[in-house]
Amino acid sequence: MTKTIHPRSRKVRILATLGPASSSPEQIAALYEAGADAFRINMSHGDQQSKVAVIAAIRELETIYRRPTTILADLQGPKLRVGKFADGKAELVKGATFILDRSSELGDAGRAELPHREIFAAIEPGARLLLDDGKLVLRVTEHDADRIVTEVIVGGWLSNNKGLNVPDVVVPMAALTEKDRSDLAFACDQGVDWIALSFVQRPEDLAEARKLIQGRAALLAKIEKPSAIERLEEIVEMCDGVMVARGDLGVELPPETVPPLQKRIIEVSRRLGRPVVVATQMLESMITSPSPTRAEVSDVATAIYDGADAIMLSAESASGSWPTESVAMMDAIGAAVERDPTHGDRIHFTVTRPDPTTADALAEAAKNIAATVSAVAIICFTASGSTARRVARERPGVPLMVLTPKPETARRSGLLWGAYPILTKDVTSFEEMVSKSKRMALRHGIAKAGDRVIIMAGVPFGTPGSTNVLHVVRIVGDELNGYSS
C-alpha cells in the first residue's frame, strides 16, 4: 500500500540514528513520518547480519511513500582502549604516578596495559592522555618504546577496557581498521548512500576509504580530532560531506572551544560546497524524557541558524525511550526557526562566493531570481548531483527539487539543505524539460497554478557537468494532463 507524505516545509534535514529502539519496519516508518529525512546506521554496535533487515526496511519506504530514501553507514574507526584490571577497576589518585605499558598482565592502581604500539612511538612528554571520555586526565612525564610514565592530573576510578584519547599528538594509525574495511565492504554491497569515516586526522586518511568505496557511495568525514581542525580545509576538499562530531571533539578539546569550532566547520564546509551535519547530544535529555531542556532546543536552533544542512539524533532515536517524539521535536524546532523572519539573513552570514564557472554563476543567480520574482521552487535536472549541491550551498529561500534519472543521486541528495529529490526519466528536449518541471511541481504539491518556478539544466541533455540553462516559467492549471514519469 502506497502512502502520501507531504513535502517537508523546513529545509534543514534530520538524520536519525537507528538502534534497538527503532529497528523494526514500523518504527522506521514512524520516524520517517515524524520528520526523519535520512537514517544513520552505527556500525560500532551489532553485527553485520543484523543490519540487513534494517537497510531493507529503509528501502521499503521508497515503495510505500514513492520517495527516495537516504542511508548513512557510520564506521567505528580506530578505538583506543586500556587493558583489564585484576579487580575489574582501580582508583587513580591525583598526583600519583601511573604507567601504561605493553605488558598483558592485569592492571592495578599503578599501571595498566596499553595495547596500541603506535602511541608509544608518537607520544611526547607533556602530552595529555584522557581516559573514559575525559573523566580522568594523565600527563606524560617520560616514555620509551614500551612504557609511558604519567602523572595523574584528574583522578578517579578506571575500569576494564575504557577508552583513551590522545588530543595533543597525531597518532600514526590507519583511519580504517580491519573491522572498518569489512563494514565498509558490507555497507557498499548493501547499497548504502553515504559512508562516514570516524576519527579523521589528516586528508590522507580519506584516500584509502575513497579507494575502497570505488564510487559506490559518498564519503563523509567526521571532524572529532584537534589534528583535523589544523588541516580542516584540506580535509573538507577531499570528502563529499562533513560531520561536526561534537562528542569526541568535546572530550579532546576544552568544551568552551566547541561552539566556535562548530561555526568554523560549518562555514568552511558551506564555502567549499560540502553538506555539513551537526551531531551529538542535540536532544540528549530526550533519551529518558518526553521533552527536551530549553538549552537543548537553543542548541539545535543555533545549528540551524548557522546554516547546517542536517542535524542528527544519536541515542535519542537509537536507544532512547522517546525516539519518535525526538524526531518530531527536532522537526518542530527546524520549522519554527525557519519561520523566523531573520532566519534568511542569519544563514547568509557565511559568504559563499561562486567559483568562476557557468554552473556556479547560475546557482547564485537562481537564488537571487527566486527571491526577486517570488518563485516557489528551484528545479534542477542533474545526473551527478553537482548542480543540486551548488544550489543548496546558496541556501535559497525556496525548496530545491532535484530531478534525476539515477537512484544513487536521488538518495545521496537526502543530506542537502532544502533538497526534494525525485527519481524520474531524463529529458531530451527543452520543451520536455519545461513540461516535466511543471508537472512534477504540481504532482508533488510544491507549486500550484499561477506560481513561478526556476529551472536549471544542462544542454545537451544527459551530459554530466554541463549546467548552462536557467529558465523561469509560470505554471498553469492543466499541466498534469498527459502526465508521465
E strands within 78-183?
89-92, 97-101, 111-113, 128-131, 136-143, 147-154, 156-159, 164-165
**Cα 15 vs. chain centroid, distance in angstroms?**
7
Which of the residues 13, 222, 367, 439 is marked catalytic? 222
Which of 149, 93, 96 lies closest to 120, judged by CA?
149
**Cα 173 vs. chain centroid, distance in angstroms?**
23
Number of residues written out for the chain = 485
- Whether 454 and 378 have beta carbons less than 8 Å apart is answered as yes
User: Which phi and psi angles does 357 have, rounded to 5°?
Assistant: -125, 155
Which of the residues 17, 69, 280, 324 is marked catalytic? 280
- Whether 55 and 351 have beta carbons less than 8 Å apart is answered as no
Check if 111 is active-site: no
Check if 293 is active-site: no
The identity of residue 173, as a single letter, is M
Which of 456, 458, 452 lies closest to 474, judged by CA?
452
Which of the residues 10, 40, 51, 393 is marked catalytic? 40
Check if 280 is active-site: yes
- Whether 302 and 270 have beta carbons less than 8 Å apart is answered as no
Which of the residues 59, 66, 79, 81 is marked catalytic? 81
Q: Residue 261's CB: how many other CB atoms inside 10 A?
A: 18
CA distance 390 to 402: 12
Does residue 460 have a cis bond before it (omega within 30 degrees)?
Answer: yes
- Whether 370 and 407 have beta carbons less than 8 Å apart is answered as no
Check if 222 is active-site: yes
Residue with the three cell numbers 589534528: 227
Strand partners, 311: 14, 278
Residue positions annotated with a catalytic role: 40, 81, 222, 280
